[in-house]
């Protein structure tokens, strides 16, 4: 447990030193909130679907968490390149503990990112429908962050090239986000598209956040929690296995 705690703190410190990275990662969520939230609001209302900004904000919060979480794995490749990972791996610590420490560190930063986007959304005009459920929304933020940080870290453990990692992540991130229902309701979709969205793990994170923050959800909150939790455990286990195969 001490090793996990130390690695967790180290990952947080490494990220927090890059203020430009923190500020830069807020640009895309703000763009989506302002450009889409206000730009399509009238269209959404004319369609009789309510306030689009209220609908969109939880999806943008999930997007901010997703991008920060999944790209946290790039630190693993940096550590490989400069030899820092070898120093960690030769320590008398379980590879699973190393995986957990790195995952929790990256996930913590992603959760903070999500909280910042939530606060900015409230300043812009978003109003949580039931403030009592906001603590529950933090649980969904944590599950999204842990799941996708673990995924990014697991993929990075089998790669040695930063450019290759970025290409793979971009290939994964865009479909994960755009097919999650973050930008559109899941009701009334063509069957084939609904099946794809149902297979997208981020769909359950977006749905959980939307259910707790806007009181609008397609699946049940229990189902959202269960899917995210089970997938997080599976991905962390796979990541621990992949870490055990890294040659020192």
DSSP string, 111-161: HHHHHHHHHHHHHHT---S-GGGHHHHHHHHHHHHHHHHHHHHHHHTT---
How many Å is the maximal CA-CA distance in the chain?
62
Helices of type H across 26-133: 27-31, 37-39, 41-46, 52-70, 74-82, 84-89, 95-124
The alpha carbon of 49 is separated from its chain's Cα centroid by a whole number of angstroms, namely 27
Look at residue 248 in the predicted model and tell me its pLDDT.
58
Tally of CA atoms within 13 A in the half-sphere of 133 that contains its CB? 16
Contact 131, 213 (CB under 8 A): no
pLDDT tens string, the chain, 248 residues long: the values are 565 666 666 666 666 555 555 666 677 888 888 877 776 666 666 655 567 888 889 999 999 999 888 887 777 777 777 666 666 666 666 777 778 888 888 898 889 889 999 998 998 888 888 889 999 999 999 999 999 999 988 888 887 777 777 788 878 888 999 999 888 888 878 888 889 999 999 999 999 999 999 888 888 899 999 999 999 999 998 888 887 777 65
Domain coordinates of the chain in residue numbers?
2-244
The model's pTM: 0.88
Q: Which residues of 223-247 are buried (b: 16+ CB within 10 A; e: fewer)?
A: ebbebbeebbeebbebbbebbeeee
Q: Residue 12 and residue 6: Cα distance in Å, rounded? A: 10
């Amino acid at each position: 447990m001490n090793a996990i705690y130390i690695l967790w703190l180290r990952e947080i410190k490494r990220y927090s030193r890059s203020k430009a990275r923190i500020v830069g990662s807020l640009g895309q969520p703000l763009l989506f909130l302002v450009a889409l939230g206000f730009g399509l609001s009238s269209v959404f209302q004319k369609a009789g679907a309510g306030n689009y900004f209220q609908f969109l904000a939880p999806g943008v919060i999930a997007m901010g968490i997703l991008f920060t979480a999944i790209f946290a794995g790039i630190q693993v490749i940096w550590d490989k390149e400069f030899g820092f990972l070898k120093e960690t791996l030769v320590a008398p610590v379980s590879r699973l503990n190393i995986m957990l420490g790195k995952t929790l560190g990256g996930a913590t930063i992603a959760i903070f990112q999500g909280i910042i986007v939530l606060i900015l959304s409230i300043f812009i005009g978003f109003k949580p429908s039931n403030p009592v459920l906001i603590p529950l929304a933090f649980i969904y933020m944590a599950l999204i962050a842990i799941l996708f940080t673990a995924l990014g870290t697991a993929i990075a453990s089998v790669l040695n090239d930063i450019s290759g990692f970025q290409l793979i992540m971009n290939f994964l991130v865009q479909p994960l986000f755009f097919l999650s229902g973050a930008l559109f309701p899941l009701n009334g979709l063509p069957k084939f598209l609904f099946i794809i969205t149902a297979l997208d793990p981020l769909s359950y994170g977006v749905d959980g956040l939307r259910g707790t923050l806007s009181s609008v959800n397609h699946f049940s909150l229990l189902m959202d929690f269960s899917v995210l939790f089970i997938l997080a455990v599976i991905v962390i286990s796979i990541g621990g296995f992949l870490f055990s195969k890294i040659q020192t």
